[in-house]
Amino acid sequence: MYIILNAFSFLREKLKQKGIPYLDAQWRINEQTRICDLIDSLGLEQNEVEAVFLNHTVTSKETLLKEGDRVALLPPGTPGSYRLLSGLKEH
């Protein structure tokens, strides 16, 4: 099955160095793949991904992925106002 992957900030550079597409990239995964499994398969450390958007909503790294899901990986260090607007941090 396939998902669409996007990565932001320094995660893009890390994936680019590995030759891994990171912008609206179609990514093949197995059934029963969780977001944390995807992060591992990309060769990223779990602590390099602070937040995950799944279909435009912040979600847990333990979430099981489904066909056609849109996944966006956000690293630590996102500016404060974006943290509030995106739902990473509450008021």
Length of the chain in terms of residues written: 91
Average pLDDT per 10 consecutive residues for the chain, totaling 91 residues: 95 95 95 97 96 93 97 81 52 42
Q: How far apart are CA 55 and CA 32, in angstroms?
A: 17
Domain assignment of residue 54, yes or no: yes
Whether residue 9 lies inside any domain: the answer is yes
CA distance 63 to 86: 18
Number of domains, the chain: 1
pLDDT score, position 77:
75
Rounded to the nearest 5 degrees, what angle is found at the Cα of 38, between the Cα atoms of 13 and 4?
A: 75
Residue 91 belongs to a domain = no
> Which residue, among 64, 56, 34, 58, has the nearest Cα to 46 in the 3D structure?
34
Whichever domain contains 21, its CATH number is 3.10.20.30
Total-model pTM: 0.85
Identify whether the C-beta of residue 54 lies closer than 8 Å to the C-beta of residue 71. yes
Full domain range(s) for residue 38: 2-86
Q: What is the pLDDT of residue 78?
A: 62
